[in-house]
Structures are given as C-alpha cells and as structure tokens.
Chains A and B, each alone.
Chain A
Amino acid sequence: MAEFNRLVARYPEGKQKSALLPALHLAQDTFGGWLSSETMDYVASLLHIEPIEVYEVATFYSMYNLKPVGKYLFEVCHTGPCMLNGSDNIIDYIKEKLGIKVGETTADGMFTLKTVECLGACGYAPMMQMGKTYREHLTKEKVDAIIAECRNNAVVKN
C-alpha cells in the first residue's frame, strides 16, 4: 500500500487516474502474475474510477496478463531484427523442450511461452524477456541453462 501511495503522489491532485498503469503493474506482481476481474475491480476502487476504465486499459496493453501464467513467463521476441538472427529456431526449440505451443503453460504450472513484438534489444538478438530481465544472444544451450536455472530456483524457493 505504501508503494501504491507513492505512485499516486507523483501526479497532480485530482489526477490519480494517471497512476493506473503503474498500479496495474504493481497489482499483477502482487496477485500472482495476472489480473483477475476481482483484482481489476480492487484497483478501480483504490483509484476512485469505474471498473470499465481499468478493463479498457488492461486489455489494451500487452504486458498485462488477463489469464493465469506459469511461474516463469518466457516472452520471446520474433519481430524483424530478431527473426533475421534466428528467433524462429529458438521458439521452436523452446516449444519442443517444454512440450507446449505458443500461448500455453506446462502442466506443472512452471512455464508459459509467449511470442512478443520488438522489445528493443535488436542488437543482442535473439532474445526474450523473463520477469524483469532480458535474456539475450540466445542459443539452444542458453535456453537449456535458463530452464535448468528456473527449475533449480523453484526447488530452492519451495
């Protein structure tokens, strides 16, 4: 809540709706990596705006997940410059390795694979976003290592 209040304080008085995008990021991070209708309604009540004002924003921006995702979300860029450097092969490899299609989550709830449009890492292609970080210059070996790292972290945390 302290973090929420800090967000709202950045804007002029009466313009608290401006905090909606950052507030939705915060809500998504806090409530399991996605935005349920209940979560969105809660954000609306905090900002004193109508729920529809939250829904229309949440559905517009690609970073808000409107359904549950795995513990680790792989968002692989496949736009032009990444494609020139073999992003399609990386996507195929991840699909094969995790046994899922793009947009799916593994049965154990560990991994979700998505393709995304340009993330501004074109010089370090192919790449993907995982949580707050970028994983760049991807190769099959690096993908293996990242998957192993995630599995390891999950064990340590549990």
Chain B
Amino acid sequence: MGRKLLLEKAHVENIRLYDVYRREGGYRSVEKALKTMAPDAVTEEVKKSGLRGRGGAGFPAGMKWSFLAKPEGVPRYLVVNADESEPGTFKDRYLMEFLPHLLIEGMIVSSYALGSNNSYIYIRGEYAWIVDILEKAITEAKQNGWLGKNILGSGFDCDIHVQRGAGAYICGEETALIESLEGKRGNPRIKPPFPAVKGVWGCPTVVNNVETIAAVVPIINEGGDEYAKIGVGKSTGTKLISACGNINKPGVYEIDMTISVEDFIYSDEWCGGIANGKKLKACIPGGSSVPILPANLLLKTAKGETRYMNYESLSDGGFASGSMMGSGGFIVLDEDQCIVRNTYSLARFYRHESCGQCSPCREGTGWMEKILWRLENGEGKMSDIDLLWDIQRKIEGNTICPLGDAAAWPVAAAIRHFRDEFEWHVNHAQEAQVRNFGLGHYADEIHIPVST
C-alpha cells in the first residue's frame, strides 16, 4: 500500500469544514511558506520535487512557474484549471468536493510564490454544487485570516475567486480558459506569447491543474527532496487516478506510481478486477485522448516487460505500442465492448467540442464521426478505414491547440491495434449489427515485438 499525500484525510468526518481540516494539520504549509520562506524559495522546492503538471501534459510545474514574467507594476495571476472535462477523468471533482481546503491551501502558497494577489479557480459549469463548496471554504479561510490583506503579518495579500464555465471541453486548454475567464468564446490563442508573459487581461499568468496545486501542500510541508523520493524516475510523488468503465470498483485512487498496471486493475485495493467476471479487452489509461491499448500491450510492453502506472512506463514504445499517463482517466473495456462503437462515441465527443477555429479539426472531427457511424451501423466500406487513417493524420499537428491531436490519437490507436475488428465490421456488416466482435486475440501473449 503506497503513501497517500493528497487523499490521506479524505475520509475524516467533516474534513470539508475548516475547523476539522485545521485540526488535522491543515494550513501548516501556509504558515511555513509565509513565515519562513521567500517566494522564490517556494518555487525552488516545487522544482526540486519534480512535480509534473497533473492536467494531462505532464510539464514540470516548477519550471512553468519560473517562466513567469515579473515586470514592475503589472499584476500577475494564478489561475487554477478546474475545467476537468477529459472523458474518463473525475479526480479534480473528488478533490474539490471532499477536500476543498486542500486546494485553497495550495493556492495560497502558490499565489505567494508567484506574487498573485487575486487568484482564480475556473471550474466547469456543470460542477455547480462544487462552486458552493469552494466558496464556503474560501469564506472560512478568509474568516480565519488565511486570505485577505497582510496574511499572517507577512505583508502578502491574496483573494481567491471562483468562476464557472458553461460547458466547453476546449476551456481546459489554458489559453481558451483565459479567453473564457475574460468573458469570451473559448477559442485557444496562438502561442507565443505564452500565458507566462501575456495571460489573463494581458498580464503574466500561470495556469495549473487542481491536483498540481494541491500537491504543493505536501511538497512545502515535507520539502521538495522528500517528495521526489516517492515514485520512480521522473514520475515523482503520487498521482490521482480516476478509474472507470467495466471494473468492479470504479473510483478515485491515489497511487505512488510504482505499481503495475495489472495490479492496479486486478487488486482489490484498486479496481478490483473486471466486472461480472469478464475478461479485459482494452484500456485507455490516461483519459480519452490517449491511445487505446489492447490487453496484451497494456499489461506488458512490446519488449515483454511489466508495464507500470507511471509516465515513463505507460508511454514505453511510443505510440506504436504504448500510450500515455495523460490526466489519469483510466477507462477499462471488457470483452463484450465494441472498439468501433467506442471510437465512434469519442469521435462524436471531439466533433462536439471542437471550437471551430482551425479547419482540420472543425471539418476533420465531423468527417471521422460520420465515417465511424457508417462503420458501426453496417454501411462502411473497406476504404473507409484508410480514409479515417488519412483524416486523422491530417488533423494531427495542424491545429492551434492540442484538441486536434486529442481527436486524432484515439482514432489512430484504434485502427493501429484493432484493425481486424474494423475490417470485420465491413466484411460482416449484418452480423456486426447483432453481436460484437468479442475478445479476439487482443489478450493473447505477444511473442514478436511490434514493429513501428
């Protein structure tokens, strides 16, 4: 059983309330940072910790902070990205719903490091009840002197505001989020300039995921070096994984990134095995945008080594035979699931969420959805599979923001690993309407390394 840094107190009764949270050791990191550390020293600890952005891209958080421009007389902003919308991901919701003060605490320390006197939480509009939870926590923190003017006599002022989005996946992309925070459509901006130089209202801005900011609390409490000792390689600390799909125990788990994928799926400590005694067919290990893997490549790498739940191991083999840690949205598919149907559902999602700025994404996502619908409904042609491949290739890398890639990768991986299931849908169009392809050979051991 690994160490828990974020969810350790999640099950303490009434931990959502300030008094309980404080009694359990909450807000110690604010005391430590504001009373004994200079802002740059806080950033230094975050750098030492090796913490990688938990939103999906995995960029080192301390480095992102050190890029923040600090021109004289210009306000700087910390914006927390709570727009959690990547299918399969529901970890930030859990954190905010049950441990709102952990996020507020992390935000105060981070705001101090960055010099942000007004920090914002941009939360997806559908999490309406969590807005109330967060606002209550902010009020409690303010009443107890953790927010407002001259916090703990340090001379540092900070207020936190919550802004609700209104239903747009694209607003999880940091520049779209900034546009949305400014009261506009969520159209991503062309970079550079990066938000660190020109972000919200033209001012230097850091946008970080909820889990990233929450992790700052244990990093400051225990020190960056101690935090970096947990985990393995460049996968330091703990990671929240939201597990869903056809498993016995869906939910949010905090892991220390040293466990194997097989243990994560089958151990009762985590997913508890595949639901209804069925077999594992495939898995999307890091949110819907990352490549889907068949059971055999999920549990072992193409070299036949055990695959682990961390950044490096999940991406071992590149896109040819690996996937990504992404946001930690772990979606499991059992033997009765249809890959074509699943891919269609995700393609529809990306078509719906494309902001429409770049034509490859705006048009391409719609074309992919239509072709996948044809294949799924028995009207597909063999050439459709190659057409799909061609379209996704032309979207990837040709858009302003990563939504294009995010829409292309699931389709590419599905064809790469499950091509025979797509072909079966064409060759057995009638049969495919009444039954699914089934497990096929997707769980068979692989003897020959997959070529690229």
Give complex CA distance A18, B331 in Å.
35
Nearest A residue to B252 by beta-carbon distance? A123
What 6 A-B pairs are tightest by C-beta distance, nearest first?
A20-B183, A61-B166, A62-B167, A123-B250, A63-B167, A122-B244
Q: Which candidate, A66-74, A78-86, A138-146, is the interface stretch facing chain B? A: A78-86
**A49 CB → nearest B CB, Å:** 8
Give complex CA distance A19, B166 in Å.
12
Contacts of B355 in A (CB 8 A): 60
Contact B183 A19, beta carbon cutoff 8 Å: yes
Contact B125 A63, beta carbon cutoff 8 Å: yes
Number of residue pairs A-B, CB distance < 8 angstroms: 144
Contact B164 A21, beta carbon cutoff 8 Å: yes
Q: Which candidate, B16-24, B341-349, B377-385, B441-449, is the interface stretch facing chain A? A: B341-349
Q: Mark B152-165, 1 if CB is under 8 A from A, else 0.
A: 00000000010111
Contacts of B89 in A (CB 8 A): 120, 122
Contacts of A134 in B (CB 8 A): 126
Give complex CA distance A102, B67 in Å.
48
- Known interface pairs A10-B163, A12-B75, A15-B182; A120-B129 also in contact (CB < 8 Å): no
> Is residue B88 contacting chain A, with contact meaning CB distance below 8 A?
yes
CB neighbors of B among A7-28 (8 A): 10, 12, 15, 17-22, 24-25
Contacts of B12 in A (CB 8 A): none
Give complex CA distance A78, B125 in Å.
18
Contacts of B164 in A (CB 8 A): 21-22, 25
Contact B251 A84, beta carbon cutoff 8 Å: no
Q: Which candidate, A93-101, A104-112, A124-132, A150-158, is the interface stretch facing chain B? A: A124-132
Contact A122 B353, beta carbon cutoff 8 Å: no
> Is residue B142 contacting chain A, with contact meaning CB distance below 8 A?
no
What is the number of residues of chain A that contact chain B, defined by CB distance less than 8 Å?
A: 42
Contact A80 B88, beta carbon cutoff 8 Å: yes
> Is residue B168 contacting chain A, with contact meaning CB distance below 8 A?
yes
Give complex CA distance A56, B75 in Å.
29
Give complex CA distance A62, B85 in Å.
13
Contacts of B34 in A (CB 8 A): none
> Is residue A147 contacting chain B, with contact meaning CB distance below 8 A?
no
- Known interface pairs A63-B167, A84-B245; A79-B346 also in contact (CB < 8 Å): yes
Contact B168 A118, beta carbon cutoff 8 Å: no
Contact B244 A81, beta carbon cutoff 8 Å: yes
> Is residue A64 contacting chain B, with contact meaning CB distance below 8 A?
yes
**A115 CB → nearest B CB, Å:** 10
Contacts of B255 in A (CB 8 A): none
Q: Mark B313-344, 1 if CB is under 8 A from A, else 0.
A: 00000000000000001010100010001100
Give complex CA distance A81, B184 in Å.
30
Nearest A residue to B83 by beta-carbon distance? A120
* Supplied contacts A83-B341, A120-B89, A123-B242, 20 more A-B pairs, CB within 8 Å: A12-B201, A15-B201, A17-B183, A20-B184, A21-B125, A56-B185, A60-B186, A61-B165, A61-B166, A63-B126, A79-B87, A79-B288, A81-B87, A84-B244, A84-B245, A117-B169, A118-B85, A120-B85, A122-B244, A123-B243
Contact B251 A123, beta carbon cutoff 8 Å: yes
**B291 CB → nearest A CB, Å:** 14
Nearest B residue to A18 by beta-carbon distance? B183
Contacts of B126 in A (CB 8 A): 63, 119-120, 129, 134
Contacts of A148 in B (CB 8 A): none
Contact of B124 among A64, A120, A125 (CB under 8 A): A120
Contacts of B201 in A (CB 8 A): 12, 15, 18
Contact of A80 among B128, B183, B243, B331 (CB under 8 A): B331
Contact A10 B345, beta carbon cutoff 8 Å: no
> Is residue A46 contacting chain B, with contact meaning CB distance below 8 A?
no
- Known interface pairs A63-B167, A117-B169; A18-B181 also in contact (CB < 8 Å): yes
